[in-house]
Amino acid sequence: MNSIAGLDELLAEATAQLREAATNAESLEQWRIRYLGSHGEVKALMQQLKDLPPAEKPAFGKRINEIKQELTASFKKRKGELTTAGPAGKSAIDMTLPGTPVSIGHKHIITQTIEEIAEIFARMGFEVAYGPEVEDEWHIFDALNMPASHPARDPLDSFYITDSVILRSETSNVQIRVMESKPPPIRIISPGRVYRPDTVDATHSFMFHQIEGLYVDEGVSMADLKTHLDQFCKAYFGHGVATRFRPHFFPFTEPSAEVDISCHICAGDREDCPVCKGSGWIELGGCGMVDPNVLKAVNYDTEKYTGYAFGFGIERMVMRKYNIPDIRILFENDVRFLRQF
């Protein structure tokens, strides 16, 4: 085998052997010794070089070096394949390795918050009640002391489906439906979606969630309202939180108030606080004693029964609690955000 053709034959044979016979670490090593070892076939050919006529030496020497390099490269490649594929040449599964974690979803922070609020009020004896999102005028306006002339019925403030069917702008319709269905005592909270024709920005959305509470019984007073809401705020926002009532007006409650909680970011110490703007207080929602006209609308005896009602925006509570600056983040379904809760 002292011609270039003989060299090419060796290359073809060694390459075929590598593919067919070198199927594990052991047979691969045997292959290496046979072709590339210090007494291997490539070496043997190199020793023939000195016996060749001078004219043939350069081409033969060059070719044998190329073959050596090519076989060395093929050997390394084959070794890599066998290491990845495992000892038997099959796909290697290491049963002792920990598995790949499967990421499972969880409830959205809004749902989690509704459940948390419901749980806090359940401890105070409140049940959860639901009602329709598409509602008639009676349940969303008339029965809630908002007669036909009331400004809150302006089409600019509510989505009208027909002249008398409305996409509800608050969850108060549930209060009316529950009171129509049974006599006092009533202790309910009603969470759900509400819709308003607002332009979307950092604090507004055309759809958001509200939670309302209603407590009607003999002798229910403003003191009950203030106590329950204070307890709720401490349970939800933390024990250090203080609450205050500011007089306000709502058509369905009299007297009415807005509820503020103390700023948990700065406690009123920072004039540039982004959350309370230095006032030390954050507006949470509205509340008040149920207007007797509302109780009359559902045929309750207003001489015997009194009640309170309140309503909070759930997004606002979540934004306050977790210091989220923009309501839109809550609806974008970006898992990098959602995963944090």
- Name the minimum Å distance from CB 116 to Zn ion: 23
Q: Please, which residue, 68 or 320, has the CB nearer to Zn ion?
A: 320
Under the binding rule (CB under 5 A), the answer on residue 82 touching Zn ion is no
> Which residue, chain included where needed, has tokens 């499967």?
102
- The verdict on whether omega for the bond into residue 87 sits within 30 degrees of 0, i.e. cis, is no
* 276, 314, 318, 330: residue in contact with Zn ion (rule CB under 5 A): 276
- Alpha helical stretches, state H, 57-99: 57-85
* Total chain residues near Zn ion (CB under 5 A): 6
Under the binding rule (CB under 5 A), the answer on residue 287 touching Zn ion is no
Radius of gyration, alpha carbons of the chain: 40
Under the binding rule (CB under 5 A), the answer on residue 329 touching Zn ion is no
Q: Please, which residue, 146 or 282, has the CB nearer to Zn ion?
A: 282
* 46, 235, 242, 265: residue in contact with Zn ion (rule CB under 5 A): 265
What distance in Å separates the CA atoms of residue 225 and residue 205, rounded to the nearest whole number?
Answer: 29
- Contact segment (CB under 5 A) with Zn ion among 23-31, 270-278, 308-316, 332-340 equals 270-278
* 129, 189, 266, 289: residue in contact with Zn ion (rule CB under 5 A): 266
The 10 Å Cβ neighbour count of residue 255 is: 14
- Name the minimum Å distance from CB 313 to Zn ion: 19
Contact at 8 Å (CB) between 323 and 265?
yes
- Contact segment (CB under 5 A) with Zn ion among 3-11, 85-93, 226-234, 258-266 equals 258-266
What distance in Å separates the CA atoms of residue 174 and residue 132, rounded to the nearest whole number?
Answer: 8
Rounded-to-10 torsion of CA 108, 109, 111, 112: 120
What distance in Å separates the CA atoms of residue 11 and residue 144, rounded to the nearest whole number?
Answer: 95
Under the binding rule (CB under 5 A), the answer on residue 273 touching Zn ion is yes
Binding site for Zn ion (CB under 5 A): 263, 265-266, 273, 275-276
